[in-house]
Amino acid sequence: MSTKGDYAAVRKDIAALLHQPEYDDGSAGPVLVRLAWHSAGTYDATTDTGGSNGAGMRYESEGGDPANAGLQHARVFLEPVKEKHSWITYSDLWILAGIVAVREMGGPDVPFSPGRTDYVDDSKLPPRGRLPDGAQGAAHIRHVFGRMGFSDQEIVALSGAHNLGRCHADRSGFDGAWVQNPTRFSNSYFRLMLSLTWKEKTLPNGVKQFVHVDEDLGQELMMLPTDLALVNDPQFRPWVELYAKDKDRFFEDFSAVFHKLTELGIRRDAKGKVLNSDNVKGGYVS
Ligand code: DDH
């Protein structure tokens, strides 16, 4: 048990659990980043519903959304951290874990603002189907991310998270990693998207994705239809080109937009105190 509010102690324990030799590419990092993103990425600005407040994925209605398949691994990795630092809310822990994972895998520092509640406000629960579908194209991407208030530039920067991790046929139906080293945060995703030839492939389960086979390395890399929509759309493409050649600019923009993602639906006063958390009846009281 650490002192309440000692986020440095929590960060340390998250960093220590990332190394998982038996899991995927040896790291829990990518799936933790995806947990943070899916907890926040249900937000709808018009109705002010969804978002990371409430950690709704603990419950069947959100946790059982097929879009969240596999994220139970991330939650299980974090359980010992929650047990040790029981004062932290799940909603803050999931966001902090994504932020620590990005940094530990060589990515930028993303600011962390705590104060989320684990109180589930039923009127704020997101319906299923709010997360993006990899089989779609640019219009779908703009619809989903526009709903959260993101610009074209922010959408492309956020998508750079696909430098990390992989698709699992038993989770999403897609299969494989986007880059050669999927546990190292970089701008390779943008560079490979532009420089390699991508061919459509139908997997044994009927799912279509794009692949590049590197004969020398004997390695197959993949892209989702939504990934390649970023190079094929004339408004998205200039941002892909910029991030492919300017890694520092990508890191800077990713940091800002990932922070924005984590704050969707969280209202704070001038001092940063969350207004729709501690004061909620039945919510987490600090
Ligand atoms: Fe993603 N993502 N994502 N993604 N994502 C998958 C894996 C990972 C889409 C679909 C998929 C973002 C945007 C999109 C990560 C982070 C982020 C998988 C594979 C699919 C499918 C899941 C599986 O089989 O295990 C689509 C579509 C979009 C879109 O923009 C249209 C964003 C914005 C992020 C982010 O973090 C900001 C990460 C990390 C992974 C790897 C997970 C793992 O287990 O490894």
Active site residues: 38, 178
Q: Residue 282: its pLDDT value, please?
A: 45
Q: Residue 121: its pLDDT value, please?
A: 83
Ligand 1 mean position to 162 CA, how many Å? 6
pLDDT in tens, 23-35: 999 999 999 999 9
* Test site for ligand 1: of 18, 23, 24, 34, most ligand atoms within 8 A of the Cβ: 34
Which residue in the block uniquely carries the two structure tokens 């004339």?
Answer: 234
Of the candidates 180, 189, 197, 175, which has an alpha carbon nearest to the alpha carbon of residue 243?
189
- Contact yes or no for 51/40 (Cβ under 8 A): yes
Nearest residue (by CA) to ligand 1, atom 44, is 31
Length of the chain: 286
**Which ligand 1 atom minimizes the distance to the CA of 36?**
36
Sheet holding 208-214, edge to edge: 199-202, 208-214, 219-223
Two structure tokens written together for 245: 């050649």
Ligand 1 mean position to 168 CA, how many Å? 11
Backbone angles phi and psi of 221, in degrees to 5 = -105, 160
pTM over 0.90: yes
Q: Residue 278: its pLDDT value, please?
A: 54
pLDDT in tens, 190-208: 999 999 999 999 999 999 9
* Test site for ligand 1: of 162, 186, 190, 224, most ligand atoms within 8 A of the Cβ: 162
Give me the sign of the Cα torsion angle 48, 52, 54, 60.
Answer: positive
Indicate if the pLDDT at residue 156 is higher than 90: yes
Nearest residue (by CA) to ligand 1, atom 22, is 167
Nearest residue (by CA) to ligand 1, atom 45, is 165
Backbone angles phi and psi of 235, in degrees to 5 = -85, -35
**Which ligand 1 atom minimizes the distance to the CA of 166?**
45
- Contact yes or no for 183/27 (Cβ under 8 A): yes
Q: Checking DSSP bridges between strand 208-214 and strand 219-223, what pairing results, if any?
A: antiparallel
3-state helix, strand, coil in the chain (%, to 5): 45, 10, 45
Indicate if the pLDDT at residue 283 is higher than 70: no
The binding-site residues of ligand 1, defined as CB within 6 angstroms of any ligand atom, are: 30-31, 33-34, 37, 70, 132-134, 141, 158-159, 161-162, 164-168, 171-172, 174, 224, 226, 258
Q: Residue 206: its pLDDT value, please?
A: 97
Nearest residue (by CA) to ligand 1, atom 13, is 159
Q: Residue 134: its pLDDT value, please?
A: 98
Q: Residue 123: its pLDDT value, please?
A: 84
Indicate if the pLDDT at residue 277 is higher than 90: no
- 150 CB-near residues (< 8 Å, 6+ apart): 158, 257, 260
Indicate if the pLDDT at residue 214 is higher than 90: no
